[in-house]
């Protein structure tokens, strides 16, 4: 939440947009940055994980190594070591093993155990031991680690809680804890190593004082329709609650606010699009589209025909089409998009195809020129009647190549212009831009679509494609400004793909069997992919891991084992198990011409095995590829694994996908891999993915290092709130299309500003 250039129209948004250091001080505010909390509003929307009254113990079974936690538990054992001159007495145990004084404590929830370890000077060990006598209850905060096969908090902060829930002692005695001790309910916040839950509670109290008397930005009729409390009451109810029902009412308001702001923005976008005219692009018989259809060597699926008819009808209208086309991997979305582009060209317009990576843009160019044949040779000798030109524009092209592509786009000679972010440049002009096709929408933002819109005299039609199946509740929230079409049917002739989870921790010899399987398929004339989570050993990232996921690590290690690196594995296999095969290496840091050359060789069958990162995730079409080995498969999300697997089995040969992992059998990572191995239904996998992770991440956010912009909503469980918000938002826009109401204007401005910031982050 950042302050917009021209300021907010309401006092509430101005105060909520205040930088946190103004209220809590620069030192404390800096500690909040690790939690992505920068403003007063961010802090107010950072809610406790749970509340307790001093009599409810935490569930220790939910703890995971690596997590920062605060738990309420009871002491069952307290033993001091290396206290000079002491002997066991008074129910306290002393033991000397040589070394520095330390204290070992075991706490319980009466089901499981958690160990605590304290180190320090002799007087501190004695003080802590006096506090942590058996039977004492306390809140213990720290980072969970694994030591001697047991979960442990090393040197945690703690406070001792009396039977009435009041704090009576602890490792810290200050005004932060004095505040917590006065509350009927104590909230345990998501915290970090440097920022404990009681510091967050104290900061929230300061923020509440700063917001005292805040005027609610939502109109009274909106609050009444939603049946929610006012905003100041909501904030106090979640941060300083008197009762559990108060926390529920406060949370209800904040969840509604999040849903309402999103739906109001979507409704405003829909109304804005409808208010702008577009040039109708009706289908013209006997043109380029008919010539293309006549050459197709196969019959369109029923789904492709149905969706194409929807698109053709919308292209013929004087309002801009705003449609999302989602479909299974291999369902033929690209063909549907090509037909739409050809229809627009027949009607005198041009089409722009925006792709997220240069590899994918190059693949689209190869696919379209192959599908069109001489229909893509417009202006050349021997070109077919009605032929157009297809050009590519990327950031890595040399000046001469860019100049030629720009000239063909500006003159109208190129009916289809394919490109990456380079298409958004100020020097890119079109003669008559009629259709914008955006591939893999979750990699882009509304601002990028708007940037292409601005290149047309009137609003172009927009077709957004994604191969990530999106549950309806997510589509309604994230793509609420678009109508949705779905392709589920897979064209005939696609082979089956068998997916197997390979536990390399328990069966390290199975890795050699994976390489042997590649050799067998290559000897039969097939090709293979080997996918790695990082490029090189100098790349310190471990690959895209799902939020809150803790990877299985070798005993005694401090973190996850490094993921296999593409460069290292390529070198190892080239001189080892696959040395007599033709191997190629592909990753995002290669020069563009090298990437193109590698993909061309693999597509032509001139290389047998492609060792690659996720640059092959989407758009790569090599029907002869029948094997994929995904190293460290637990480093990827469900949708990414599904996309990667979609690169094989695209022809007549059955495929096998081997998911190599060291993740423990009872981990969420293994659940994820088992789900992928259990079905090829991307829509079923999308639901599983949504259950495990936040909706923004399902669309790719966590896989590119960004968290979901939704802080409180879970679209899987809050669909009723979203539907209610959508209904109220639509009425608000119908009654106030110009957003004259300050609170409504600020709500939309905040969402648009946030989206613009995320776009800038990505670019």
In tens, the pLDDT along 405-445 reads 999 999 999 999 999 888 888 889 999 999 999 886 544 55
Residues 562 and 672 placed together within one structural domain of the fold: yes
Q: Return the percentage of the chain with pLDDT > 70, whole number.
A: 81
Note the Cα 542 to chain centre separation in Å: 16
Same domain (yes/no): 113, 71: yes
3-class secondary-structure state, position 698: helix
Question: What is the chain's Cα-based Rg?
Answer: 30
**Which of 155, 188, 221 is the C-terminal boundary of a domain?**
188
One domain, residues 44 and 58: no
Q: What is the mean pLDDT of residues 570-575?
A: 94
Please tell me which residue, 624 or 715, carries the higher pLDDT value. 624
Q: Count structural domains, the chain.
A: 4
Query: Do 331 and 443 reside in the same domain of the chain?
Result: yes
Is pLDDT of 761 > 60? no
Residues contacting 137, CB < 8 A, separation 6+: 54, 57, 72, 73, 74, 75, 160, 161
CATH of the domain at 156: 2.40.50.140
Task: Output the pLDDT for position 465.
Answer: 87
Residue 544 lies in a domain: yes
Does 193 reside within a domain?
A: no
Give me the pLDDT at residue 85, please. Answer: 58
Distance CA 446, CA 755 (A): 7
- If you average pLDDT over residues 703-725, what whole number do you get? 68
Both 599 and 650 in one domain: the answer is yes
Domain membership flag for residue 712 = no
- Per DSSP bridges, beta strands 137-147 and 150-154 are antiparallel
Q: Which of 538, 542, 754, 728 has its CA nearest to residue 636?
A: 542
Q: State whether the Cα torsion 175-177-179-181 is positive or negative.
A: negative
Asked whether residue 328 is assigned to any structural domain, the reply reads yes
- Specify whether 1 is located in the same domain as 122: no
Whether the model pTM is above 0.85: no
Same domain, 519 and 636: yes
605: domain CATH number is 3.40.50.300
Q: Which structure tokens are listed for 636?
A: 């990827």
Domain enclosing residue 182, as ranges: 51-188
33 and 64 share a domain? no
* Closest among 94, 90, 112, 111 to 103, alpha carbons compared: 94
Q: What percent of the chain has pLDDT over 90?
A: 43
Q: Are residues 321 and 407 in the same domain?
A: yes
Domain presence at residue 316? yes
Q: How confident is the model at residue 256 (pLDDT cuts 50, 70, 90)?
A: very high
| 588 inside domain | yes
pLDDT confidence of residue 494: 66
Residues 364 and 479 in one domain: yes
375 and 420 co-located in one domain: yes
Same domain flag for 41 and 56: no
Structure tokens at 276: 């702008």
């Amino acid at each position: 939440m950042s302050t917009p250039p021209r300021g907010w129209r309401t006092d509430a948004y101005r105060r909520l947009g205040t930088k946190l250091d103004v209220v809590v001080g620069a030192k404390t505010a800096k500690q909040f940055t690790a939690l992505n909390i920068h403003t007063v509003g961010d802090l107010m929307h950072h809610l406790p994980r749970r509340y307790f009254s001093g009599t409810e113990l935490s569930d220790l079974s939910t703890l995971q190594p690596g997590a920062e936690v605060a738990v309420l538990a009871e002491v069952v054992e307290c033993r001091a070591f290396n206290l000079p001159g002491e002997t066991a007495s008074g129910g306290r145990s002393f033991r000397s093993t040589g070394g520095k004084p330390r204290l070992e404590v075991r706490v319980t929830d009466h089901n499981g155990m958690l160990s605590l370890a304290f180190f320090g000077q002799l007087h501190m060990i004695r003080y802590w031991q006096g506090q942590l006598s058996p039977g004492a209850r306390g809140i213990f905060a720290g980072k969970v680690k694994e030591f001697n096969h047991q979960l442990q908090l090393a040197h945690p902060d703690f406070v001792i809680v009396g039977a009435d829930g009041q704090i009576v002692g602890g490792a810290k005695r200050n005004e932060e804890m004095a505040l917590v001790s006065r509350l009927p309910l104590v909230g345990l916040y998501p915290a970090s190593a440097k920022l404990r839950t009681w510091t967050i509670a104290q900061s929230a109290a300061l923020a509440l004082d700063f917001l005292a008397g805040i005027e609610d930005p939502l109109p009274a009729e909106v609050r009444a329709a939603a049946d929610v409390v006012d905003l100041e009451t909501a904030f106090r109810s979640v941060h300083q609650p008197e009762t559990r029902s108060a926390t529920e009412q406060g949370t209800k308001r904040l969840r509604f606010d999040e849903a309402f702001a999103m739906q109001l923005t979507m409704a405003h976008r829909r109304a804005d699009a409808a208010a702008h005219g577009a040039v109708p692009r009706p289908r013209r018989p006997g043109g380029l589209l008919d010539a293309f259809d006549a050459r197709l060597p196969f019959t369109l699926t029923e789904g492709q025909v149905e969706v194409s008819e929807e698109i053709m009808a919308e292209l013929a209208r004087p309002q801009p089409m705003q449609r999302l086309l989602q479909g299974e991997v291999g369902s033929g979305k690209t063909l549907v998009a090509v037909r739409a582009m050809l229809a627009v060209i027949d009607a005198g317009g041009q089409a722009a195809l925006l792709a997220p990576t240069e590899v994918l843009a190059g693949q689209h160019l190869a696919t379209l020129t192959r599908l069109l044949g001489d229909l893509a040779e417009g202006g050349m000798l021997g070109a077919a009647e009605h032929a157009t030109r297809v050009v590519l524009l990327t950031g890595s092209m040399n000046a001469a190549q860019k100049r030629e592509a720009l000239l063909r786009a500006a003159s109208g000679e190129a009916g289809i212009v394919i490109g990456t972010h380079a298409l958004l440049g100020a020097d890119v002009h079109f003669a008559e831009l009629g259709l914008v096709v955006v591939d893999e929408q979750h990699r882009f933002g509304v601002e990028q679509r708007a940037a292409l819109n601005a290149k047309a005299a009137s609003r172009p039609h927009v077709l957004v494609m994604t191969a990530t199946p999106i549950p309806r509740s997510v589509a309604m929230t994230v793509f609420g400004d678009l109508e949705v079409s779905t392709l589920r049917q897979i064209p005939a002739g696609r082979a089956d793909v068998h997916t197997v989870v390979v536990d390399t921790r328990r069966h390290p010899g199975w890795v050699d069997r994976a390489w042997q399987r590649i050799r067998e398929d290559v000897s039969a004339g097939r090709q293979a992919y080997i996918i790695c989570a990082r490029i090189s050993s100098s790349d310190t990232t471990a690959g895209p891991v799902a939020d809150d996921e803790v990877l299985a690590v070798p005993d005694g290690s401090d973190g996850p084992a490094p993921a296999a690196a593409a460069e290292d594995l390529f070198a190892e296999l080239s001189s080892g198990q696959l040395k007599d095969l033709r191997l190629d290496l592909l990753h995002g840091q290669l020069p563009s011409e090298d990437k193109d050359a590698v993909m061309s060789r693999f597509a032509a069958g001139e290389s047998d095995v492609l060792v690659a990162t996720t640059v092959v995730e989407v758009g790569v079409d090599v029907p002869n590829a029948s094997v994929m080995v995904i190293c460290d498969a637990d480093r990827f999300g469900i949708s990414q694994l599904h996309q990667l697997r979609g690169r094989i089995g695209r022809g007549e040969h059955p495929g096998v996908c081997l998911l190599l992992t060291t993740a423990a059998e009872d981990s969420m990572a293994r659940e994820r891999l088992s789900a992928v191995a259990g079905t090829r239904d991307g829509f079923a996998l999308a639901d599983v993915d949504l259950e495990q992770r936040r909706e923004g991440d399902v669309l790719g956010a966590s896989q590119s290092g960004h968290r979901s912009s939704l802080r409180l909503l879970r679209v899987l469980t809050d669909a009723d709130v979203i539907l209610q918000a959508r209904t109220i938002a639509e009425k608000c826009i119908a009654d106030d299309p110009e957003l004259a109401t300050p609170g409504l204007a600020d709500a939309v401005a905040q969402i648009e500003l946030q989206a613009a910031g995320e776009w800038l982050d990505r670019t």
